Structure 1
Amino acid sequence: MGESFGRWTLGDDEAMLDIVTSANVACGFHAGDPEGILATLTAAQAKGVVVGAHPAYRDLAGFGRRNLDASPKELYGDVLYQLGAIAGLARSIGAEVRYVKPHGALYNTIAYDEKHAPAVIDAIGSFDESLVVMGLAGSPFVEKAKAAGLTTVQEAFADRASTPGGELVSRREPGSVLHDTALVAERMVRLVQEGVIEAIDGTIVPVEADSICVHSDSPGAVEIARAVRDALVGAGVELRSFAA
């Protein structure tokens, strides 16, 4: 959330904050400006939603969804800078950033990468080792962060298709983003109850997840998030933030 920029409005943060328990808030490098980020932080605080930093590659034009060949030293500084920016904005209103979830291409790269993952982990640990670190369920990044002494949370995606190996299907591929609200809700109930997700080829993949993500910029995002929440609650699942 917090991804609007100047006159460009993206996502319905107010509506989403009535549904979710945690909000990944942009830090300005892939989207968002200080005014909008602060507004999202303020709204989240008013609605009792836990906020996390959503740092990205320095890629405003590409919305953080392009891989950048930054040096580990450069990436370390970029992540540290973003954490400092959002923490300062949150502190100004008496709020607190509780966790970190890298965004877009950075998230996907560090899931299995040996070059950029340590830089991100080091930056988080240097800034505040009490921050919870979120990563793709089953990925080596989660294990690396845990080995570094950080508290980790594994994440699954409601509105994205998975490969048989548990990775996210590239957005360049057809069917990578899911739009059928009923199907998405059914998949997430099955994830919670059975610990599996059906991959794009029909393979049943075991997934151990602590959190479910819905992208606020996807068409119908609010309806998808509401359908997932209603389905989980209807199945008797108690929803709360992992970082509360």
Structure 2
Amino acid sequence: MASMITPAAAAIDLNADLGEGFGRWALTDDEALLSVVTSANVACGFHAGDPSIMRRVCELAAARGVRIGAQVSYRDLAGFGRRAMDVPAAELAAEVAYQIGALEVFARAAGSRVSYVKPHGALYNRTVRDADQAGAVVDGVRLAAGEAGLPVLGLPGSLLLAAAAEAGLEAVPEAFADRAYTPEGTLVPRGTPGAVLHEPDVVVARAVRMAAQGQATASDGSTVRVRARSLCLHGDTPGAAGLALRVREALGAAGVRVEAFA
């Protein structure tokens, strides 16, 4: 029974990617998702989002008590931030700081603040194993936030989280209930069949297992450790808001509190 499960952690954060639109084009159901999640990864204009969208999402998040996170990306609107790019470290650090600063304006205007930083897409995956790019992201966070810093959300065991911890920033590991994992604990590339999981019952069951047991089944059938402080559900999948609600309810039934880490 779900109520008999001993959670791997007493509480877990539930985050989603929001504000992923541009002009009249909208991808995510921001208002519905903000009624479920505890942390909002807001697109900062480099892979999606524009000033009006950023402002609106910050206002909605602040009104609901949802933490606002800067989802920073390579400068790649045409490719939605999912294309591999080679950006010099100093340039990347400046672009990361620029994105955080832009979102901070709207977060402050809404009566909130930027509470953490999470890379998006190709940048997220690159910083798992690329020390140069991981360090550049951390340098950008430091440039934008100063000595106080900001927590950095990333994949457990990644060089990004290692660089963040070395720089004195809070390194927050996250798991993905709707993404397939390799036996090494990394994400299966999006171009691979089965990389994104769409069956709601499967996603809900994986979310509970991740939070309650710190485990997931990898693409080859093996078991991988995925202990995390935050659980991500992608906002650009069909029925994302309804699925997020089911996940939150299932976590509660399993005895896991859902609350923001920041």
Give TM-score scaled by structure 1 length. 0.97
Q: Which residue of 2 aligns with 1:83?
A: 100
Q: 1:99-114, aligned counterparts within 5 Å?
A: 99-114=116-131
Deviations 1:47-99 (CA, angstroms, capped at 9, x unpaired) = 11111000100000000001111111111111111111111121222210100
Q: Is 2:67 the counterpart of 1:50?
A: yes
Give 1:223 shift.
2.2
Q: Is 2:35 the counterpart of 1:35?
A: no
Choose the corresponding residue for 1:59, options 62, 66, 76.
76
Q: Is 2:136 the counterpart of 1:116?
A: no
Deviations 1:188-214 (CA, angstroms, capped at 9, x unpaired) = 111122111111111100122100001
Task: Quote the Cα distance in structure 2 between the aligned partners of 1:164 and 1:135.
Answer: 18
Indicate the larger mover: 75-84 or 135-144.
135-144
Alignment partner of 2:116: what SS? strand
Q: Which residue of 1 aligns with 2:12?
A: none
Q: Is 2:201 the counterpart of 1:182?
A: yes
Indicate the larger mover: 141-150 or 25-34.
141-150
Task: Quote the Cα distance in structure 2 between the aligned partners of 1:178 and 1:96.
Answer: 32
Q: Which runs of 5+ in 2 are unaligned?
A: 1-17
Q: Is 2:159 the counterpart of 1:140?
A: yes
The amino acid across from 2:95 in the alignment is D
8 Å contact 1:182–1:227 — kept in the other structure?
no
Q: Which residue of 2 aligns with 1:150?
A: 169
Q: Which residue of 2 aligns with 1:3?
A: 20
Give 1:160 shift.
0.6
8 Å contact 1:65–1:105 — kept in the other structure?
yes
Choose the corresponding residue for 1:231, options 246, 250, 254.
250
Give 1:225 shift.
1.0
Task: Quote the Cα distance in structure 2 between the aligned partners of 1:140 and 1:73.
Answer: 18
Alignment partner of 1:116: what SS? helix
Give 1:235 shift.
0.8
Deviations 1:108-152 (CA, angstroms, capped at 9, x unpaired) = 101111221111111112221431111112223212210111011
Alignment partner of 2:57: what SS? helix
The amino acid across from 1:89 in the alignment is F
8 Å contact 2:141–2:149 — kept in the other structure?
no
8 Å contact 1:99–1:133 — kept in the other structure?
yes
Q: Is 2:194 the counterpart of 1:194?
A: no
Q: Which residue of 1 aligns with 2:7?
A: none
The amino acid across from 1:118 in the alignment is G
Q: Which residue of 1 aligns with 2:14?
A: none
Q: Please identify which structure carries the higher strand content.
A: 2
Q: Is 2:97 the counterpart of 1:97?
A: no
Give the superposed CA RMSD.
Answer: 1.0
